[in-house]
Structure 1
Amino acid sequence: MIHQGTGETIVLLHGATSSCNTWKHVVPLLSPSNEVFAFTALGHRGGNKATSSIEISDIIDDFERLLDKYNLDKPHITGNSMGGWAAIELAKRGRAASVCAISPAGFWNTPQHGQHLALKKLKRLAFIAKITQPLLPLLAKSSLIRMLALKDVAKYGNKLSGCEFTAMVEDMLYCEVKSSLFNTKQSLNFTEPLPCPCTLVWPECDLLFPPNINAVIAKERLPDARSLILKDIGHVPMIDDPLLIATTILKSIEYGKAFELNE
């Protein structure tokens, strides 16, 4: 977990096979005026241990237990990918003051559409990480290899340092629950309005959840949510442009406050 700052509370949730370190360049941009918690998910490296195969719902339950542990009743919650899915579900449970969901997972029709494509790419990344693990220290030194290796999740993967790239790959390698998550049958399919303001953020260059597919489905299922498309960033945009993401999070919180004043 990362915990920094004082002020209004912001909780950051990462995507599948990652860790709280996904947010390491965003947290310092938020913490000067906010208390920021970045949690690591159940079964992920640095998170609570999973005792068996799990589902997305178990991840969400564990995040809610973390909210309880740190006495966070209704923080502003931002999540990326699986974390975006979790943020929306936590809001549904009444645990969020506002939600900023960046490339949220779960908005798919059938396994033949976005889910199948995204999970196939993630399985391929996990396989490549496993077979190249002995060469990881050498491969990490090349900015070109970093960019090519991360092309499905970031437009500018070369922005990561060699150490950051290595840590990201090791997060995937040592994620205990990736097989369960890669084969999930669950989805984000409810259509009830959320009890708090919600901003859906779609990176224009997202190769896992393309906005022309997933954003359309999300609009059908959450018609009251505000939707944004951000240019020149990929699925994990904290790699590509931490400042843009921090600014987007803060603006989503301000939008939520204005929305509630107008209600």
Structure 2
Amino acid sequence: MTDRAPLVLLHGVTMSGRVWRPVIPLVAGHHDVRTPTALGHRGGEPVAERPVRVTHLVDDLERRLDADGLDRVHVAGNSLGGWMAIELARRGRALSATALSPGGFWGEDGRGRGAPVRALRRIALLERLSRPLGPLPHRLGVVRRTALGGVSARGHLVSATTSVQAARDLAGCLVLDDILDTDEAVDPFDPLPCPVTIAWSERDRILPMRDGLPAARRTVPGARFVILPGLGHVPMLDDPAMVADVVLRTTGATG
């Protein structure tokens, strides 16, 4: 047992809790860290009904918190995980919430939603086409740059192991089409039930800052807004230290 407040780290669609591995050592000195894998993703709970909605993923996460005897936790998430983190805050289950380039902020009349859906479908198609080649090509920086170009601004610097892991997680995600087809969005709420930080990656090609950040400001006006300079959609791949700093400032572990 530990007296450190729990910190739950949530991944984006097609990924898994493994994407947080570079960040864990940087925050584990302050928090009891947990990295669950979402319902329907590789290593997560199997799906009982279709289509799966974001609400179902949050419901499943709440059940896991209850099973572990956890009422409120610090939570941080990226993309879909950021959306889930904000929803946990809305439900009163968060001590603090950090959302990194979160989904669900589509702008007025759903504007801005189509581009990320098309981008994620292209990434999934590229993975399917390259799957017969196996892990060997991931040793080449140019392959990693191409494979991770949609989610990382520095894909060629990501390790081959991490690149292969991302490809396998994508292949093992059973709910991608369900999540991409959902009509859900983050509903406006203010005041906030806990500290909330929304941090947007400056070089996000999946959910571009120019679309998502203004919508987030309108939807959650009480949040603290941060820009992550030079980072891509999954900032943990590009700069784990910067991500850890944003998370720990939100939890109050650092000044």
Query: TM-score of the superposition, structure 2-length normalised?
Result: 0.94
Instruction: After TM superposition, give the deviation of residue 192 of structure 1 in Å.
Output: 3.2
Question: Which residue pairs with 2:183 in the alignment?
Answer: 185
Match of 2:43 among 46, 49, 52: 46
Instruction: After TM superposition, give the deviation of residue 143 of structure 1 in Å.
Output: 1.1
Alignment partners' CA distance in 1, 2:69 and 2:242 = 29
Unmatched segments (≥5 aa) in structure 2: none
Alignment partners' CA distance in 2, 1:112 and 1:216 = 13
Question: Which residue pairs with 1:37 in the alignment?
Answer: 34
Instruction: After TM superposition, give the deviation of residue 103 of structure 1 in Å.
Output: 0.5
Instruction: After TM superposition, give the deviation of residue 86 of structure 1 in Å.
Output: 0.4
SS of 2:134's partner is helix
The worse-fitting range, judged by mean Cα deviation, of 198-207 and 141-150 is 141-150
Instruction: After TM superposition, give the deviation of residue 29 of structure 1 in Å.
Output: 1.0
The worse-fitting range, judged by mean Cα deviation, of 122-131 and 106-115 is 106-115
Unmatched segments (≥5 aa) in structure 1: 259-263
CA RMSD, 1 decimal? 1.9
What amino acid is the match of 1:128?
A: L
Alignment partners' CA distance in 2, 1:90 and 1:33 = 21
Instruction: After TM superposition, give the deviation of residue 5 of structure 1 in Å.
Output: 7.5
SS of 2:183's partner is coil
Query: What is the 5 A alignment of 1:2-151?
Result: 7-53=4-50, 54-109=52-107, 113-151=111-149
For the Cα contact (< 8 Å) 2:190–2:221, is it kept in 1? no
Instruction: After TM superposition, give the deviation of residue 117 of structure 1 in Å.
Output: 0.3
Alignment partners' CA distance in 2, 1:48 and 1:74 = 22
Alignment partners' CA distance in 1, 2:176 and 2:134 = 20
C-alpha distance after superposition, 1:179-205 (max 9, x if no partner): 111211111122332211101001111
For the Cα contact (< 8 Å) 1:14–1:83, is it kept in 2? yes
For the Cα contact (< 8 Å) 2:107–2:211, is it kept in 1? no
C-alpha distance after superposition, 1:161-216 (max 9, x if no partner): 21221111110111111111121111112233221110100111111111121100
Q: 1:213 and 2:211 equivalent?
A: yes
What amino acid is the match of 1:93?
A: R
User: Deviating runs (4+, > 6 A) in structure 1?
Assistant: none
Alignment partners' CA distance in 2, 1:145 and 1:111 = 37
Query: TM-score of the superposition, structure 1-length normalised?
Result: 0.92
Q: Percent identity?
A: 37
SS of 1:39's partner is coil
SS of 1:49's partner is coil
Match of 2:194 among 147, 172, 196: 196
Question: Which residue pairs with 1:261 in the alignment?
Answer: none
For the Cα contact (< 8 Å) 1:130–1:173, is it kept in 2? yes
C-alpha distance after superposition, 1:209-251 (max 9, x if no partner): 1112110011001111110001010110000001111111101
Instruction: After TM superposition, give the deviation of residue 110 of structure 1 in Å.
Output: 6.2
C-alpha distance after superposition, 1:10-53 (max 9, x if no partner): 11011001000010110111112311011100000001000232
Alignment partners' CA distance in 1, 2:191 and 2:62 = 20
Query: What is the 5 A alignment of 1:237-256?
Result: 237-254=235-252
For the Cα contact (< 8 Å) 1:99–1:198, is it kept in 2? yes
